[in-house]
Structure 1
Amino acid sequence: MMTEIFGIPLSAMLSQLLLGLVNGAFYAMLSLGLAVIFGLLNVINFAHGALFMFGAVLAWMGMEYLGLNYWAMLVLSPLVAATLGVFIEKTMLRWIYKLDHIYGLLLTLGITLVIEGVFRSRFGVSGLPYSAPESLTGATDVGFMILPNYRAWVVAASLGVCMATWYLIEKTKLGAYLRAGTENPKIVESFGVNVPRMVTLTYGFGVALAAFAGVLAAPVMQVSPLMGQNLIIVVFAVVVIGGMGSIFGSIVTGLSLGVVEGLTKIFYPEASSTVVFFVMVIVLMLRPAGLFGREK
């Protein structure tokens, strides 16, 4: 006899939770990049969604024009995006660090419109097909569902990158320099550390995370110049819920909200696209700094 919970088969619930975890993996990856940039640079990077799209479109271009496979673009796309991030930081963001947050928000919004406009004029708004690599095609029977191998890879890769980033920033000497450099750059420079270069590389790293997520998403979503628009709004909500600048909070909240979204699709599908924002409102009412943020 099939086990049911609230009249819903357990297998259906578990399969929806697993699919929700895949969405949560993208939320975690993107919110992690946002948290790194805001926590260490104090910039609200609204261009993150466009840079996520940039990574996915680069993967498609590498396949279409250069014949490069998925694995090559999983490395090259983040590197190219990081180079673009370094250029953006050196030529534009560097001049607004001491200004109000609204200037960074408006500047990165403008960057978003430029990047999306360039790709929209070249490729239009219809989706571009991108297939999963042959080694990750097919599916595995996990008992309660047939799990596509590529989606399992997305979750595993996202978790690996997220935990490696958390360890780098929170548990290593380099991470300590990064955190100290944002709070008191003069003292850190007295130890011979080039703080401006460190800040530039940090922004490039955050952009690389967005592009890496974009390549992971390319076989799952349709590659389109507008693919980052709706996703980035949800990701900003994830960052706010987890706590602005909290690396660990972004990872945990991103994965958790993906699962919550999956459960909502079972019990009340109409609210699945807004449940994240309901959670954000409740969290901000009870804890304005976010679940893992520091109260000032």
Structure 2
Amino acid sequence: MDIFGIPHQALLAQLFLGLVNGSFYALLSLGLAVIFGLLNVINLSHGALYMLGAFLAWMGLSYAGIGYWGMLLLTPILVGVFGIAIERSMLRRLYRLDHLYGMLLMIGLAQALEGLFHSMYGVSGKPYSVPDALQGATDIGFMVLPNYRAWVVAVSLVVCFAIWFVIEKTRLGATLRAGTENPKLVEAFGVNVPLLVTLTYGLGAGLAGLAGVLAAPMVQVSPLMGSNLIVVVFAVVVIGGLSSILGAILTGLGLGVVEALAGVFYPQLSSTMVFIIMAIVLVLRPAGLFGREK
């Protein structure tokens, strides 16, 4: 059966591809939204942290013989610890200054990381194979579903909604939000607010590292793999609402699908669809689809 002259199998396959891309958008946007929503920091180094996660997975296999499953657990921790070191050593000193200083620091950090890996490994991509357990595809009747891409979607959805639940529906999340809005009051109840801030930044960085590991078997691992993606991810966060965790998740997933559909019906708009939607949303609702109007 054809839909608007396109075979439904091809359309479903394209929709699934959009869902895969949307999963990466959602996971990376979630990290950005967590850091901005709770710390009010626009982390423009997020793409470089995503690249760092992919390179750590590749380096773990190439130099230490640690396979995909081990690095899937280890890499987010390592990138999160790196993020904590950045927050404690540099970013913390800028909280009382204009937000522009923090943004410039993050841009400089991204450039430094990309330059470091560029000098070490060049610009050519490094291959990273799909783990044996997830190779191949499954025929589900109306399409052939690549096992690894299905795994990426499943992991991204579980992680995204688990983080949303913790931040929005638990006492720990309430303490986090209160600590960023009124730190002195929360500290009066014996809560170590600076530690919560540090761990929050580490969580956001770790999510970028996790996305990098998930992406490594699907793309060539290269120093510039995050530089273009971060522009799209930032647009996703703006559309969803800069301080909205749920908005980042749902918008990331939705825009991945919209981008894929645009590639089917009007390919010329595929790469710019996200930015067209961002412009429309900013005109009609500057706070974003899920953001709170002030």
Q: Among residues 67, 76, 79, which one is paired with 1:78 in the alignment?
A: 76
Residue identity matched to 2:263: K
- Report deviation, 1:98: 2.2
In the alignment, the residues of structure 2 paired with residue 132 and residue 213 of structure 1 have an alpha-carbon distance, to the nearest angstrom, of 15
Matched residue, 2:154: 156
Residue of 104, 123, 126 corresponding to 2:124:
126
Which residue pairs with 2:209 in the alignment? Answer: 211
Q: Distance in 1 between matches of 2:228 and 2:269?
A: 16
Corresponding residue for 1:229? Answer: 227
The aligned counterpart of 1:98 is: 96
Cα distance, 1:245 vs. partner? 1.5
Query: Which SS does the other structure have where 1:227 is aligned?
Result: coil
Output the TM-score relative to the length of structure 2.
0.99
User: Distance between the aligned counterparts of 2:26 and 2:84, measured in 1?
Assistant: 23
Give the secondary structure class of the aligned counterpart of 2:82. Answer: helix
What's the C-alpha RMSD, in Å, of the aligned pairs?
0.7
Residue 12 (structure 1) aligned with residue 10 (structure 2): yes
2-structure distance, mates of 1:284, 1:261: 19
Describe the SS at the equivalent of 1:16: helix
Q: Secondary structure at the match of 1:147?
A: strand
Q: 2:134 matched to which residue of 1?
A: 136
Shift of 1:206: 0.4
Q: Secondary structure at the match of 1:201?
A: helix
Q: How does 1:257-276 map to 2 (within 5 A)?
A: 257-276=255-274
Deviation at 1:55, TM superposition (A): 0.4
Per-residue CA deviations over 1:139-168 (Å, capped at 9, x if unaligned) read 011222211100000000000000100001
Say which is worse superposed, 98-107 or 154-163, in terms of deviation: 98-107
Divergent runs of 4+, >3 A = none
Provide the secondary structure at the position in 2 that maps to 1:229: coil
Percent identity, please.
68
Gaps of 5+ in 2: none
Task: Give the SS at the match of 2:76.
Answer: helix
What is the CA–CA distance in structure 2 between the aligned matches of 1:115 and 1:50, rounded to whole Å? 6
Distance 1:169 1:137 in 2: 34
Partner of 1:24: 22
Aligned-partner residue type, residue 158 of structure 2: G
Give the equivalent residue in structure 2 for 1:281.
279
Q: Which runs of 5+ in 1 are unaligned?
A: none
Q: Which amino acid aligns with 2:93?
A: W
> Counterparts of 2:2 and 2:102 in 1: how far apart (Å)?
50
